Amino acid sequence: MTLSACWPPAQVSIRHNLSQIQRFLDMDALRRRNPFKYSSEPSESHDTHILDDQEQSELIDNIKSLNATSNSQNRMALQITLALSFLLHIIYIFSGYNSPLIVVFPPAGRQESPLYSSPVLTLLAIILHANAALLTHPRNLVLAKRRVTPLPYNVAFGLSAIPPTISILSGKAWQTTGWWCTTAFLTWIVHTSNRWIMQEQESISELERMKYISAGA
């Protein structure tokens, strides 16, 4: 999938930068090194550069900027994906509840009919799309003077598993079951992306806690 192929490299780039900065900011190693050691004494860390306070702040600010850009791009990609999937579900309603996969991969030897509960399941899928959009970009949404809180991931996963389960139990073709798996797949994508974002934010917070005062400052 195009989006799943482009998200991980952005996160890998941030993690690579974080690992480099963490290596520079290793407190124990830096505390063991004496910056004022006599020049004639041999030193294994002769080429090691000790970052001063300003350099540390600049590096961390640079990582923050790169991370914010990556997070913004990821969230935008997720929003576009959810919007396209939402549009497909609207088309699905007006096309007589025929799975788009059946149009692309028509089943051989038999005519596939929609699930009897397709209208209700489609409404559930649309609600879960809206829920995923709230999870993708958390915001304070208020309707009728009440704050709208998205469903937790475990609840969303459970609800999104209902349509494909019904399809399997009804003996439908894989094209129909695959169509009903899209909501569960998108919910997993949103969950994974948000978990990456949280991990990167925690890594940056750890870097800020590891800042040291250089001995020569």
Residues 150 and 135: beta-carbon distance below 8 Å: yes
What pLDDT is attached to residue 203?
86
Region at 95 (left for phi over 0; alpha for psi -120 to 50; beta for the rest): alpha
CB atoms within 10 A of CB 163: 26
pTM assigned to the model: 0.69
| Residue written as token pair 């025929």 | 98
What pLDDT is attached to residue 103?
80
**Tens of pLDDT, residues 123-138:** 999 999 999 998 887 6
What pLDDT is attached to residue 135?
87
Where b means 16+ CB within 10 Å and e means fewer, 24-39 reads bbeeeebeeeeeeeee
Per-residue pLDDT tens, the chain, 217 aa: give them. 444 444 444 555 556 555 655 555 554 444 444 443 434 444 454 556 677 777 778 888 888 888 888 888 888 999 999 999 999 999 999 988 888 888 888 877 778 888 889 999 999 999 999 999 988 876 655 565 677 788 889 999 999 999 999 999 999 999 999 999 999 999 999 999 989 888 888 888 888 887 765 544 4
What pLDDT is attached to residue 19?
60
CB atoms within 10 A of CB 135: 20
What pLDDT is attached to residue 99?
86
Q: How far apart are CA 146 and CA 195, in angstroms?
A: 27
What pLDDT is attached to residue 31?
45
What pLDDT is attached to residue 144?
55
